[in-house]
Amino acid sequence: MYRRRGEVVKTRLGPIHFTYLLGAEANRFVFANSDLFRWREAFEFLVPITGETALITSDGEPHKRRRRLVQPAFHHRQIAGYVDTFRRNADRVIDGWQPGTVVDAYAEFRRAIRRSTIELLFGERLAADEQRLGDQLQLVLDLLDMLPFERLLQERLGLPKWRRALAAKAEVDARVYDEIVYRRAHPDEAGTDVLSSLVEAVDEDGDRLSDEEIRDQVISLISAGYETTSAAMGWLIHELVNAPKHWQRAAGAPYEDPLIANLVSEALRLHPPAVLSARYVATEFEYAGERIPVGAQLIISPFVTHRLAEIWPEPKRFDPDRWDPERPGYHKPTPAEFLPFAAGPHRCIGATFATVELQVVLSRLLERVSLSPVPQRIEPIGYGAMRPRYGVQVRIDEVR
């Protein structure tokens, strides 16, 4: 659409008008004019998953307040304390591998990332039940793979998939509420996990998050945390196992090494989990000579932006060296050109959490394992997080 019709593309699905603003300049405009948009209407379909008060479905002052209270849990110093957990759960996966066998590396590390996310959000008390929590959440996340009208049909008719998802969500909610009650009753046992931070959070006005707000932040952060991060890890392994020179160069590098960071950035560029990002147009405006009316659903696309040759030479090639400042012709991308976590006031609050986790897990994989590719069909799927539909099959050659 971008090549044929330019930056502004208008479409319609029944009564819903969609306007795509495509490319870096369009992204820059959207991020700089957040007052023109609302998020609640654009992400209404997420409410059954995230709850009413999650950051992604909040606007205006309520969003600012909640983000201000959640933010300390994702401070750089706090995330530095998560590294051992990321490493331990990656090693747990690798310890179970045997040379000569074939595994789905995406599925294997999806479990590790899910465990780390739940462990760091809930603490050890509920981490032991990670499998059950993950299975229940997956029933809810499966709704995101449906087209909007399919999901609406499931809801309106109360079809079995919708009912199972709601029952699963209710079970997860109950577990989170139980833990909130326990934390409030046992402040002396408060740990350093995110849930403790949310329970104890107080802003400069003395405000605290309600139990509902804490539940919604936790559920949305778990869902977004392991769904998107594990998708990125799957694509990263797929690219690296087919580019052994990069694997060999980075083997043994610590997670903080620029080589590791460049590999992660390049995977996020080629395969951003958030293919599309939506806004609801609250104030009519004009862009590139086109009038965009109130009520339109505005769509921007990290995927399109990340594959434009005018920004990224040979955009479809996996080339981590493009992130090396010492490389001739290096161009540091702006937030409008590289946006795997979006930008502006609704930038993903877990961006640093996800990036560090990817770097730690990748560093352990490169240090401990030698893999080779297996012939397979690689195909993307997913609206909530673009992931490899059939997994990433690899042959384990060596485990150290």
CA of residue 197 relative to chain centroid, distance: 21
Amino acid at position 27, single letter: N
**DSSP single-letter state for residue 334:** P
Cα–Cα dist 228/41, whole Å: 22
**Of how many residues is the chain composed?**
400
Structure tokens at 206: 């003395």
Interhelix angle 160-185/148-157, nearest 10 degrees: 80
* Residues in Cβ contact with 313 at an 8 Å cutoff, skipping those fewer than 6 apart: 322, 329
Query: Nearest-CA neighbor of 194 among 178, 206, 207, 176?
Result: 176
| 397 appears as a binding residue in the annotation | no
Which is it for strands 297-300 and 16-21: parallel, antiparallel or unpaired? parallel
Determine contact, residues 66/209, Cβ cutoff 8 Å. Answer: yes
Binding site membership for heme: which residues? 348
Binding residues: 348
